[in-house]
Chain A
Amino acid sequence: MEPIRAPESIDLIALAPVLVLSVFAMGVLVLDLWAGKNKTLLMFISLVGLLMTAISAFAKHPLPAFAFTDSYIVDHLSIFFICIFTLSSALTILLSVEYNERKGIKAGEYYALILLCTVGMIILASSTDMIMIFLGVEIVSICLYVLAGFRRDDLVSNEAALKYFLLGAFATGFLLYGMTLIYGSTGSTNLFKIAGFIKTEGAQSNPLLLMGIVLLVIGFGFKVAAVPFHMWAPDVYQGSPTPVTAFMAVGPKAAAFAAFFRVFTEAITDLAPSWEILLCVIAVLSMFVGNLGAIMQTNIKRMLAFSSISHAGYLLIAVIAKSSLAGSGLLFYMLAYAFTTFGAFGIIILLGKKEKDNLELENYSGLAYKHPILALSMTVFLLSLGGLPPFAGFVAKFYIFSAAIEEGFVTLVIIAVLNSAISFYYYLKVVVFMYMKEPQSEFQISLTPMTLFVVIVGIIGTVELGIFPDPIIALTSLH
């Protein structure tokens, strides 16, 4: 019998982040057996694992490096994304500790699931092959289905998980179907080979290929919660445990955008005329539906869910612009969004109590006069989400809009800035409650240290990226 030969170009160094994190995830699962009721150890190990992962991402030189017969890439984009993923997962874990304690979530696999989900995100951001992308999507999604339903005794949480699972599985089907169609018409699953095929064969009018692209857009559109594939987002965001909501809004979304960007700018960039208009429509719809939908909300988690739909719209502009500047803009935006979102969710968690989550906007009435620093921080986060200088969100939007204007998408940018103006309305609504209404009830906020730490990290990041963005911009624009 012929021995099974290992595939060429196995490169464990390139794969180091995935390996390190997987080992730590397994370790957490096993250690859970001995950890007993105190999960601090697990948290600590998870954080160490994430730190090691971020460090190991820099192991490979020179860049860009390909591995596993060109199906895995280590380049500037993927390394930066790995840093965003590890940061967002670490912040999620820090947010979770006190929240889980309060809510009686005791399972140790919670941390393992977050780590495994991060593994999937790293694969998503690093893969240059459709199969790998699918693998990444599945790992991320399955972990998220479980995480969304982690409050087993809570009906809303169950609803979120089930809804997410059913719709998610459906969308994954679309994604896979699109991939097969593209494979069928180009003969390869490798992004570079697909690009080469399109260049040489000129497959502009191949209906199968175009159909495949449309299905890809649907699949990715679902993963990033772009309109009209956004239906799941508000319910899932609202029902999931709050740290998981923050996690979903940042990490997996960033990962999906990384893959989205890679597929559309590497593989089928020559077909841009045929998908550009489709993405433009989706981007515009996402911005409008997200922003107008958010205006109606009275629940802050739902409001942020709609706001995240609109942010998917802004980020799609980067995919449409498809220049390297747009890629850098995407990185910066995701980092800024991570700091801002985690900060905001940190405050939401701080305001919650054991028996009551205090998620209605009315619960924020008069916060500014009881806890001025918290209210000011929340204001900074919301204004940054809206894109007001001098905060991170403004520089991020400036970055993406610049890329789009350089490529000539002026109308799209005008629509986007008008949407920013709409978005101020509902972000300010929270400020109105915090500053301009009288407090309805006594605030009994226990400023738990871990959550507070996340808020402080959020504030530092939001302000730093807004006032002294140069070092990070230099980092994002290396390629």
Chain B
Amino acid sequence: MFLTFITFLPIIGAFFLAFFPKENERAIKQTALAVAAADFLLSLFLWTNFDNTTHKMQFEVNFSWIESWGINYHIGLDGISLLLYVMTTFLTLICIIASWDVTKHIREYMMAMLALSTGMLGVFISLDLFIFYVFWEFQLVPMYIIVGVWGGPRRIYAAVKFFIYTAVGSLLMLVAIIWIYFHVKETTGVATADILFIADNISAPLDAQKWLWMAFFLAFAIKVPMFPFHTWLPDAHVEAPTAGSVILAGVLLKMGTYGFLRFNLPFFPQASYDFMPFIAWLSIIGIVYGALVSMVQEDLKKLVAYSSVSHLGFVMLGIFALNEYGIQGALIQNINHGISTGALFLLVGVIYDRRHTRLIKEFGGLSKQMPVYAVCFMIVALSSIGLPGMNGFVGEFLILLGIFQVNGLWAACATSGVILAACYILWMFQRVMFLELNNPKNMKLKDLNVRELITVIPLLVLIFWIGLYPKPFMKTFDASVNHLVSRVSPDNFRPTKDHQEGGGHNASLMTKTELAKLSQKLQKTSHN
């Protein structure tokens, strides 16, 4: 019940905020802050009480919700979701501090922020397809409101695009969920939407698996966003208020990658394996395309937004390496991206608040006027590039290690993304921070104030902590990743009947030899 309480605490807080008088802005902000802080501290208890040695779900709650359909309120955390869960409460807290100066409809803003937090937390703990879907769709509404009310000039367009785009993908996932529900009911006789049960018992024929896989893929690929489905992201990011961008990059995108790990891999190992090259190339295109497009952006926020497309390509590549290094790297990179890109958005928000523009050409030489700001920005930028000693390096290194075991060419292509990242970030940094301070509007800019430092410093600490000593983070998901890999890694999963029969003799021989090769490779590396 502890987990339920933490998950619903923010929305309860939002409910009480509704009764605050509108004029009492101070009390509203303080209450929201108190709720978010309490939520974060409580979620740290989850982390300290978390048992790293098992892949099993912890803090599980399971009781009947819609009995007639066999749908349960089943929640729990495992290694894959724990860090994302804690990061969500953490970033919510940061965002509420970062939004201290919002003046327009502050009560509604804080309510939306807290409601959004509950929606996101719910997604990570759901262990029943039905409640997963409920949370997954529910969090769209507060985010839509945040972008649409407190966003920039084209906010309505961006908000509606965000909503419709995501809804299309998730509605197709709904069809797949219903299909799976009836399929499992037919084959096992149990009417349930329980994720763990389905993962153990689903035995769809390969054809159906592929369709289902694609339905889930579409929902998550839009959310991640993967290359051809990314067009909503720059719009949403550019128009969203600073805190909205931080949450969007830090948590919402992670829901997509989390979905792949929680659903696509365990439910459809065969289809995941078959689609591996497809995903890998899409991710590589995303990495390179995102980086190249970032390079030519004139708007700082758009630059960071496109860099997200590139970074999330790495995460996807890691997941679909289907081995331990890759998935571990993807998980840690999930966190890294949340921290680094979140911090970048916060820092861009700082100068936007002062200058009301984000165009790179408007700036230049800021390091002379705002030295603290420049240092913080430098650290975050380097972490985003993946400099050794900082968090980005750990994740990218593990991912590349993982993908290299599968296919050297993919690894080589992906590595180019790291180089391109250095190009666009450093070039942007140079144009904003160095050069001459010749724009008179920039002469009187104030450096970071205390509140802004409070929002940025925890992120900087995390950047170095994960970069230098990632073990506390890595060990939370060791057991879960091992378990996941044991299910989906090409040399471990059980090929479905249909595949053996329908694939023909030759085809199955081919895959067997491939599998043998891969397992040899893996063994070699593990010996080393």
Of B65, B141, B163, B178, the residue contacting A402 (CB under 8 A) is: B178
Q: Is there contact, CB below 8 Å, between B134 and A424?
A: no
Q: How far is the CB of A322 from chain B (nearest CB, A)?
A: 16
Q: Is there contact, CB below 8 Å, between A368 and B182?
A: no
Docked CA distance A8–B377 (Å): 90
With a cutoff of 8 Å between Cβ atoms, the chain B residues found around residue A474 in the complex are 67-68
With a cutoff of 8 Å between Cβ atoms, the chain B residues found around residue A418 in the complex are 168, 171-172
Query: Residues 39-69 of chain B: 1 if any A CB is under 8 Å from the residue's CB, otherwise 0?
Result: 0000000000000000000000000111111
Docked CA distance A436–B151 (Å): 10
Query: Residues 73-115 of chain B: 1 if any A CB is under 8 Å from the residue's CB, otherwise 0?
Result: 0000000000000000000000000000000010010000000
Q: Is there contact, CB below 8 Å, between A398 and B160?
A: no
Counting CB contacts under 8 A, is B155 at the interface? yes
Q: Which of B137, B159, B171, B182 has the most CB of A within 10 A?
A: B171
Q: How far is the CB of B375 from chain A (nearest CB, A)?
A: 38
Q: A424-B164, A436-B149 are in contact. Are A402 and B66 (CB under 8 A)?
A: no
Counting CB contacts under 8 A, is A383 at the interface? yes
Of B65, B108, B160, B164, the residue contacting A470 (CB under 8 A) is: B65
Docked CA distance A372–B140 (Å): 19
Q: A405-B179, A406-B182 are in contact. Are A428 and B108 (CB under 8 A)?
A: no
Q: A368-B108, A435-B148 are in contact. Are A388 and B141 (CB under 8 A)?
A: yes
Q: Is there contact, CB below 8 Å, between A425 and B66?
A: no
Q: A421-B167, A428-B163 are in contact. Are A383 and B181 (CB under 8 A)?
A: no
Counting CB contacts under 8 A, is B175 at the interface? yes
Q: How far is the CB of A466 from chain B (nearest CB, A)?
A: 9
The residue of chain A having its C-beta at the shortest distance from the C-beta of B136 within the complex is A389
Query: Residues 133-163 of chain B: 1 if any A CB is under 8 Å from the residue's CB, otherwise 0?
Result: 1100110110011001100000110011001
Query: Residues 438-475 of chain B: 1 if any A CB is under 8 Å from the residue's CB, otherwise 0?
Result: 00000000000000000000000000000000000000
With a cutoff of 8 Å between Cβ atoms, the chain A residues found around residue B179 in the complex are 405, 410
Counting CB contacts under 8 A, is B435 at the interface? no
Counting CB contacts under 8 A, is A246 at the interface? no
Q: Is there contact, CB below 8 Å, between B144 and A398?
A: no
Query: Residues 18-58 of chain B: 1 if any A CB is under 8 Å from the residue's CB, otherwise 0?
Result: 10000000000000000000000000000000000000000
Q: Is there contact, CB below 8 Å, between B149 and A477?
A: no
Q: A405-B179, A410-B175, A414-B175 are in contact. Are A424 and B108 (CB under 8 A)?
A: no
Of B69, B141, B164, the residue contacting A383 (CB under 8 A) is: B141
Q: Is there contact, CB below 8 Å, between A417 and B172?
A: yes
With a cutoff of 8 Å between Cβ atoms, the chain B residues found around residue A413 in the complex are 175, 178
Docked CA distance A436–B181 (Å): 39
Q: Is there contact, CB below 8 Å, between A420 and B66?
A: no
With a cutoff of 8 Å between Cβ atoms, the chain B residues found around residue A44 in the complex are none
Q: Is there contact, CB below 8 Å, between A390 and B156?
A: no
Q: Is there contact, CB below 8 Å, between B164 and A389?
A: no
Q: Is there contact, CB below 8 Å, between B171 and A470?
A: no
Of A414, A417, A436, the residue contacting B156 (CB under 8 A) is: A436
Q: Is there contact, CB below 8 Å, between B164 and A421?
A: yes
Counting CB contacts under 8 A, is B174 at the interface? yes
Which residues, 176 to 192 on B, are CB-close (under 8 Å) to A? 178-179, 181-182
Q: A405-B179, A470-B65, A470-B67 are in contact. Are A424 and B149 (CB under 8 A)?
A: no
Which residues, 455 to 479 on A, are CB-close (under 8 Å) to B? 469-470, 473-474, 477
Query: Residues 416-431 of chain A: 1 if any B CB is under 8 Å from the residue's CB, otherwise 0?
Result: 0110110011001001
Of A389, A402, A405, A420, the residue contacting B138 (CB under 8 A) is: A389
A contacts with B, residue count (CB < 8 A): 33
Counting CB contacts under 8 A, is A170 at the interface? no
Q: A390-B134, A417-B172, A428-B160 are in contact. Are A435 and B67 (CB under 8 A)?
A: no
Q: How far is the CB of A425 from chain B (nearest CB, A)?
A: 6
Q: Is there contact, CB below 8 Å, between B138 and A469?
A: no
Q: How far is the CB of B86 from chain A (nearest CB, A)?
A: 25
Q: Is there contact, CB below 8 Å, between A372 and B164?
A: no
Docked CA distance A369–B111 (Å): 14
Q: A417-B172, A421-B171, A436-B148 are in contact. Are A401 and B178 (CB under 8 A)?
A: yes
Interface size class of B (residues with CB under 8 A): 35 or more
Q: Is there contact, CB below 8 Å, between A405 and B175?
A: yes
Docked CA distance A410–B69 (Å): 20
Q: Is there contact, CB below 8 Å, between B178 and A435?
A: no
With a cutoff of 8 Å between Cβ atoms, the chain B residues found around residue A208 in the complex are none
With a cutoff of 8 Å between Cβ atoms, the chain A residues found around residue B174 in the complex are 398, 401, 417
Counting CB contacts under 8 A, is A169 at the interface? no
Q: Is there contact, CB below 8 Å, between A369 and B160?
A: no
The residue of chain B having its C-beta at the shortest distance from the C-beta of A429 within the complex is B160
Q: Is there contact, CB below 8 Å, between A402 and B105?
A: no
Query: Residues 381-416 of chain A: 1 if any B CB is under 8 Å from the residue's CB, otherwise 0?
Result: 001000011100010001001100110001001100
With a cutoff of 8 Å between Cβ atoms, the chain A residues found around residue B66 in the complex are 469-470, 473
Q: A406-B182, A428-B163, A473-B69 are in contact. Are A369 and B134 (CB under 8 A)?
A: no
Docked CA distance A405–B168 (Å): 18
The residue of chain A having its C-beta at the shortest distance from the C-beta of B177 within the complex is A398
Counting CB contacts under 8 A, is A432 at the interface? yes
Docked CA distance A388–B137 (Å): 7
Which residues, 136 to 175 on A, are CB-close (under 8 Å) to B? none
Q: Which of A388, A398, A414, A420 has the most CB of B within 10 A?
A: A398
With a cutoff of 8 Å between Cβ atoms, the chain A residues found around residue B148 in the complex are 431-432, 435-436
Docked CA distance A410–B212 (Å): 12
Docked CA distance A299–B150 (Å): 27
Q: Is there contact, CB below 8 Å, between B178 and A424?
A: no
Docked CA distance A389–B174 (Å): 12
Of A401, A425, A435, A469, the residue contacting B164 (CB under 8 A) is: A425
Q: Is there contact, CB below 8 Å, between A369 and B65?
A: no
Q: How far is the CB of B139 from chain A (nearest CB, A)?
A: 10
With a cutoff of 8 Å between Cβ atoms, the chain B residues found around residue A414 in the complex are 172, 175
Q: Is there contact, CB below 8 Å, between B68 and A477?
A: yes
With a cutoff of 8 Å between Cβ atoms, the chain B residues found around residue A421 in the complex are 164, 167-168, 171
Closest 7 CB pairs between A and B? A417-B171, A389-B134, A421-B168, A473-B68, A421-B167, A470-B66, A405-B178
26 contacts between A and B (CB under 8 A): A368-B108, A372-B108, A383-B141, A394-B134, A394-B137, A398-B174, A398-B178, A401-B178, A402-B181, A405-B182, A410-B179, A413-B178, A417-B171, A417-B174, A418-B168, A418-B171, A418-B172, A420-B171, A421-B167, A424-B164, A425-B160, A428-B163, A431-B144, A431-B148, A436-B149, A474-B67
| Additional pairs, 8, CB under 8 Å, beyond known A372-B18, A418-B172 | A388-B141, A389-B134, A401-B174, A410-B179, A418-B168, A421-B164, A432-B148, A436-B159
